[in-house]
Amino acid sequence: MRSVVIGGRTVGHAPCMVATAMSEQVDEMLRQAERAVSLGADIVELRVDKLPDQDAVCAVVEGARCPHIVACRTPRFGGFFEGSEEERIARLARAARDGATAVDIEFFTEPDLRSRLISSAREHGVPVLVGYENMEETPDRSELIDGLKQVQALGPDLIKLAVRAHSYDDLLTVLGVAREASGFLDVPFAVIALGIPGAPSRPLACILGASFTYCATEQGVIPGQLTVKETRDIITSLAEQRWTCSSKT
């Protein structure tokens, strides 16, 4: 698997913890980003959905003194941005131009707009994360595997799969996909089952081959999302036990 460098942080070796900062105010977003890093986050997802305008987005990008991924989500993808798709892509493209260390775009974005952002990011040497997401349900395993292969064909630097889990059966589907994906994806990836039944997917996918996952800075912020410390502790504990068991066989 190839690695990618985001703001000086290499993704693709040890699992990276990503925590989110989101606010309507620049100062509050920067405060959240700083706190996330202080709590152990390796990378901060800068969710610029709620910021009032492009100047505010630029101020956050310029003020964030940490590895970060800029994302702007509409309600369709669990976000808050109410502008047009053209405005959303322009917001992300400007962030790439102004120094973002990575940008995030959903696979199900209109293809021409998606390609426009990817090309713009490439022009400025900014890594691109492409996410395959379903906020309503967990599709069957074959559909998810096919979706990841379609994302891979776009040539992104990172890949994220995020689906809604309604049961532990959904969780098992997602973990099976994580295991299979580790055999064919050639870039760092995250696999996440959203919701309370999906909570174990966040650390367990990293044990099964994922390179990064998303965490909370505080407990109870998002249902099913573990804190940075909880996630890292689980991964570390399971990895150590796996090594110990292997050394005894």
Supply the DSSP symbol for 216. Answer: B
Domain chopping of the chain, boundaries: 7-239
CA 226 to centroid of chain Cα atoms: 14
Angle, CA 21 vertex, CA 17 and CA 25 arms, to 5°: 165
What's the confidence (pLDDT) of residue 248? 52
Distance in angstroms (rounded) separating the CA atoms of residues 24 and 22: 7
* Residue 249 pLDDT: 47
pLDDT given at position 245: 44
Helix H or strand E segment including 123: helix 111-123
For the stretch 203-228, pLDDT in tens is 999 999 999 999 999 876 678 899 99
* Both structure tokens of 229: 């410390």
State the average pLDDT for the chain: 95
Per-residue pLDDT of 147-166, as tens digits, reads 999 999 999 999 999 999 99
CATH class of this structure's domain 7-239: alpha beta
Residue 67 has pLDDT above 50, yes or no: yes
Q: Are 186 and 149 in contact (CB under 8 A)?
A: no
Confidence band, pLDDT 50/70/90 cuts, at residue 241 = confident
Measured over the CA atoms of residue 207, residue 210, residue 216 and residue 219, the dihedral's sign is negative
